[in-house]
Structure 1
Amino acid sequence: MAVEQVLIGGQWREANHDGTFHADNPALKQPLPAQYPVSTWADVDEALAAAAVAFQEMRQMAVEKLGLFLNRFAELLDENKQALCELANQESGLPVSPRLLDVEMPRTINQLRLAAAAAVEGSWRMATIDSKAGIRSYYAGIGPVAVFGPNNFPLAFSGAAGGDFAAAIAAGNPVIVKANPAQPGTTRELTKLAFQAVQDSGLPPAAVQLIYHMPNEDGLKFVADPRLGAIGFTGSKGAGLKLKEAADKVGKPIYLELSSINPVVILPGALAERGEALATEFQTSCLMAAGQFCTNPGLVILLDDDKSAKFVDTVKAGFAGAPSGTLLDKGVEANLTQNLKLLIDAGADVEASGSGEGSSQGYTCPNTLLSTSAEKFLANPEAFQTEAFGNSSLIVKAANLNEVCAVIDSLEGNLTGTIYSDTAGSDDPAYDLVALHLRVKVGRLIDDKMPTGVAVSAAMNHGGPFPATGHPGFTAVGIPASIHRFAMLQSFDNVRPSRLPRELQNENPTGSTWRLVDGVWTTENLA
């Protein structure tokens, strides 16, 4: 059987490879027919060399070309969305509709268009002019960016079309796509359309390249290579930390999304007011897409009283009766099973473990609800924060509000933290105390709704303290803020006006770009 080609230096060609792999259909537990190469260092080296040349070209071209590329790519995705979503369904088990076609694909297209607008408008560069000192600065591309895509969002977070990809291109960087091994075919088809957009818009041929897989040692060598500007990685904590160690040794910026259990605190007044509705809301959020969201509510903190007991009983019945969904691949199934055992071995009690009618026949795990006391949690917080990624959650029962806050204080960093309170205001004093503790543990604080939705908004923070991400100051979702991960601050001191980048010249390049001129944000020209 023929092995799929890689895209390197503007050419689809046979890979220099040592072995092959295939993806599975997780809903059927059957291998898909296509074979993909495990590239040797020769492929990686050639891609890095081509990307370095492409970056020099992109540094000198008009930003309008970046916008043209991103918008053209969005058009091509829209034209080919049905076939792309059907392929993504085969490799991920996620339903074509509504998940892929009606939710994830529109989001992917939208964030590409937002990135295009930001690239051309230019305010993201934060151009700063001190006319008296003769110093000017702005953000510009950092160099070739490697993007490692996850398996739970085959489109919106894909290395070939997702948020990291869009942000890196908008900053003016070429991208080397590292496909997720669970979805190589989807990544290949996305890259084909991206490369068509490269040709249609006049970007350098190596602005987008694709490598499916490489040996682990070459992956570590890849992220540490001096020709690479930065790395975006979404995936497992174990793999991410190994890449981070290699990148950190040479001072290479690497932006990680690794692990998050997304604590949800439900206060007594909220349970008294709408406990049954909250149980349904939590169950829906936790089991949707078999719980395979990075913002899945994996930890619920309650005061141990009658209202909480009723809430838990309702959730138990829901977990036991709901169908268990398809997990993304056999690795997710194995890790979920293993991590649930770790939680149980640490002392968690099994409240519910079952699969209702219509459960998946593919990679799957019973819907699992665990519980423990705050006292036990605080005695072993590291073990109880094991992320059981999938259709599971852990309920922590606290004796009082001080224990609730102590549990929060023991948490690692998370993407989100949620607080439910009543509408009449009886929970307000408790809310103020809990929020004070929770705010510094999470990137996004949420009131009165489950955390699973991540809006593509300029105000969104899809980040948080470690290990949610590798740096709490950056977001993977939300343009223009997400672009800054793949940019460097460049200062120009006493540089002649004709030699300055257009964004730092006296005349505003667009008439609408915001610049900080002598301490004042303005769109006006500098006199």
Structure 2
Amino acid sequence: MSQPVLIAGKWRPALHEAGTIQATNPSTRQPLPERYPVSDREDMLAALNAATEAAQQLRQTVPETIAAFFERYAALLEEHQETLVALAHAETGLPVEPRLRKVELPRTTNQLRQAAQVAREGSWKQPVIDTKLNIRALFAPLGKPVVIFGPNNFPYAFNGISGGDFVAALIAHNPVIAKANPGHPGTTYELAKLAFQAVQETGMPEASVQLLYHFSNEVGLELVSHPLVGAVGFTGSQAAGLALKAAADRAGIPIYLEMSGVNPVFMLPGALEERLEQIVGEFTESCTMAAGQFCTNPGLVILRAGETTERFINAVSERFASMRSGVLFSERGLTGLDATVKALVEHGAQVVTGGQPLDDEGYRYANTLLRVSGEHFLRDVEALEKEAFGPVSLFVVAEDEQQILAIARVLSGDLTGTIYSHTGDRDEALYLQLEPVLRTKVGRLLNDKMPTGVAVSSAMNHGGPYPSTGHPGFTSVGLPAAVRRFTALHSYDAVRPHRLPPELQNKNPNGRLWRLIDGEWTQQDID
């Protein structure tokens, strides 16, 4: 018997179940016993109808209730951490310590508590008031549900029912229909139970949070293009993301995608001459962490040809070869990674170390380093600028500084771009030429640190130009900025004062809200 879905405030069996899915323990390659339903169109429509009703209720829900939900949910995650950690470890193979217990789960509860603060304070609404013309505007709820597709690589922090898209949608008073990733349905089920408990205990509309585990491609495309949907958040592969985007675009529904990228790292000559061993360690840790299954994994490294670069490549190769590879999330991930590496080799990349699946317990791929000349990369950039989702990186060895700049110019959009340079001024001239080129290609620019970590900070941009995301102007991490994706801009022209939303009335509703009044940001009331 399969586990129940959460629809309209009820845990119930799927209607007309179209099959089941079950997770596999990637560390043992053995299927886990629990089965989860593949929902058909009837479940999808039931969830949409319930969420539509909840959307109208959430528009009237006071911010304090939403903030209390986030805080209660965070507390429940901490109370049930042992269960959550055990489930995620079994389904993903990610290590219990420190990754799941001490890094990702605390990151998730921290994000929920930050969401509570943002919900209370209300700055995401960005009220604007023109007293002379008596026109007032603010960002407001969509009035429709948000559908969220969670990825496989973060079972808590980016989960459709606990991650950044989830909190951003609810801060803006929009109900969420979460679609579980098939890689960790049990973890998502447990998270949904705790989320629904928090919903009930804090008095949120019961259909504020709903969960479907899986559905056919046809049902998924219909869901993201349904007129009752307000917006869609997706994190996953480029192929799946673009298929959903095409359907949503045809229906005029906003969809926010986080997809693929290589996150280029430029190693300027002075940096390697100054601190080669240190950078070897930082790069090795970043590229192999969690078996390289981060969307910010440094998959492309650009260096200038020379003896120091050769020493760097040899040192990284030795580190890669000496380390045991981590566990990949699935057999599909393993075969896909192997196909990508083979494609890179077919287009001229040379294997320095690794380059093959391992006949080992669990789904593992050898830590892999490839190299190609700058000239060859420039001739075949489309084929060589490919994300390899695993412990793999391609080193591009440029002839000179001009070729480094040429490589930067042909890169497509990425979440991150990194420049390592000398701590003094030895690389400054090259940096000043490189930075303006790279800056337009990435969402987050880093200096002298690897891009793997994505801090939960109001200044974070976890987004970037296509193909890393579907739109360069939005982020999926960082509050209140992430909330903007799931809002509508409402303008009020000569509306009577008592009929305005509290944030647009003359009196500041909480005394802390920043409002743009006649061109000046202020927390003051209007006289």
**Mapping of residues 392-431 of structure 1, within 5 Å:** 392-431=392-431
Is 1:13–2:12 an aligned residue pair? yes
8 A contact 2:2–2:36 mirrored in 1:
yes
The CA deviation string for residues 252-299 of structure 1, in whole angstroms up to 9 with x for no partner, is: 111100001100001111111111221121111101110011110000
Q: In structure 2, how many angstroms separate the alpha carbons of the residues matched to 1:328 and 1:231?
A: 25
Tell me if structure 2 keeps the 8 A contact 1:322–1:355: no
C-alpha distance in 2 between matches for 1:30 and 1:133: 67
In structure 1, what is the equivalent of residue 270 of structure 2?
269
Shift of 1:406: 1.1
Alignment of 1:230 with 2:231, yes or no, is yes
Q: Is the 8 A contact 1:323 1:359 kept in 2?
A: no
Q: Which residue of 2 aligns with 1:255?
A: 256
The question of whether the paired residues in 1 share the 8 Å contact of 2:325 and 2:367 is answered with: yes
- The corresponding residue for 1:509 is 509
Change in CA separation of 1:359 and 1:442 when aligned onto 2, cut-off 3 Å: farther
Aligned pairs for 1:83-482 (under 5 A) are 83-142=83-142, 143-353=144-354, 361-482=361-482
Distance 1:359 1:194, change over 3 A: farther
CA contact (8 A) 1:163 1:476 kept: yes
Distance 1:5 1:207 in 2: 17
- For 2:127 and 2:270, how far apart are their aligned partners in 1? 49
Comparing 400-409 with 303-312, which one deviates more in the overlay? 400-409
Partner Cα distance (2:499, 2:467) in 1 = 42
- TM-superposition CA deviations, 1:26-71 (whole Å, max 9, x none): 0000000001111000000000000000000011121111111111
1:77-110 deviation digits (Å, cap 9, x = unpaired): 1111121011000000001110011000010001
The amino acid of 1:162's aligned partner reads: G
**Structure 2: distance between partners of 1:494 and 1:354:** 67
Deviation of residue 360 (structure 1)?
A: 5.8
Query: Aligned letter for 1:15?
Result: A
Q: Which secondary structure does the structure 2 equivalent of 1:507 belong to?
A: coil
Return the letter of the residue paired with 1:389.
Answer: F
Question: Once the two structures are superposed, what CA deviation does each residue of 1:467-487 show, in whole Å capped at 9, x if it has no partner?
Answer: 111110111110110011111
- Asked whether the 8 Å contact 2:61–2:173 carries over to 1, the reply is no
1:156-204 Cα deviation digits (max 9, x unpaired): 0000100110111111100001000111000000000000010011111
Name the count of aligned residue pairs. 525
Give the Cα separation in 1 of the matches to 2:305 and 2:408: 16
Is the CA contact (8 Å cut-off) linking 1:154 and 1:183 kept in structure 2?
A: yes
AA aligned to 1:7 is: L
Looking at structure 1, the residues matched to 169 and 339 of structure 2 have their Cα atoms a distance apart, in angstroms, of: 36
Q: CA 1:64 to 1:360, structure 2 compared with 1: closer, same or farther past 3 Å?
A: farther
- State the distance in 2 between where 1:214 and 1:433 align: 49
Q: Secondary structure at 2:18's aligned position in 1?
A: strand
Cα distance in 2 between the residues matched to 1:445 and 1:61: 38
Aligned with 2:147: secondary structure? strand
Shift of residue 424 of structure 1? 2.0
Contact 1:324 1:355 in 2 (8 A): no
Give the letter for the 1:166 counterpart: V
**Structure-1 separation of matches of 2:279 and 2:63:** 48
TM-score norm. by structure 1 comes to 0.98
Q: TM-score, with normalisation over the residues of structure 2?
A: 0.98
Contact kept in structure 1, 2:338 and 2:356, CA below 8 Å: no
Which amino acid counterpart does residue 46 of structure 1 have in structure 2? Answer: A
What whole-Å deviation, never above 9, does each CA across 1:404-442 have from its counterpart, x for those lacking one? 111111111000000011112111001111111110000
For 1:125 and 1:397, the matched residues in 2 are separated by 48
- 1:112 aligned partner, one-letter code: L
| Aligned equivalents of 1:437, 1:61: Cα separation in 2 | 46
CA contact (8 A) 2:66 2:170 kept: yes
Q: List aligned pairs for 1:48-87, cutoff 5 A.
A: 48-87=48-87
Contact 2:148–2:176, Cα closer than 8 Å, also in 1: yes
Secondary structure of 1:479 counterpart? coil
AA at the equivalent of 1:396? V
Q: Classify 1:282/1:265 alpha carbon distance in 2 versus 1 (closer, same or farther; 3 Å).
A: same
CA distance in 2, matches of 1:51, 1:405: 50
SS in 2 for 1:339: helix
1:355, CA displacement in angstroms? 9.2
CA RMSD of aligned residues (A): 1.2
* Identity percentage of aligned residues: 54
8 Å CA contact 2:355–2:369 kept in 1: the answer is no
Question: What's the offset of the Cα at 1:354?
Answer: 7.0
SS state at 2:397 partner = strand
Q: Which amino acid aligns with 1:454?
A: V
State how far apart, in whole Å, the 2-side matches of 1:115 and 1:125 are.
14
Residue type of the partner of 2:8? G
Q: Could you tell me whether the CA contact under 8 Å between 1:323 and 1:355 is conserved in 2?
A: no
SS at match of 2:507: coil
CA distance in 2, matches of 1:179, 1:55: 21
8 Å contact kept, 1:326–1:360: no
Aligned match of 1:37: 37
Where 1:85 maps in the other structure, the secondary structure is helix
Q: Aligned partners of 2:189 and 2:424: how far apart in 1?
A: 53
Cα contact 1:105–1:156 (8 A) shared by 2: yes
Q: Which secondary structure does the structure 2 equivalent of 1:407 belong to? A: helix
Which runs of structure 1 show a deviation greater than 6 angstroms over 4 or more consecutive aligned residues?
none
Report if the CA contact (8 A) 1:320-1:355 is conserved.
no
Structure 2: which amino acid aligns with 1:350? V
Please say if residues 418 and 449 of structure 1, whose CA atoms lie closer than 8 Å, have aligned partners that are also in contact.
yes
* Aligned-partner Cα distance in 2 for 1:67–1:426: 50
Contact map agreement 2:414 2:441 (CA 8 A) in 1: yes
Contact 1:27 1:360 in 2 (8 A): no
Distance 1:397 1:141 in 2: 50
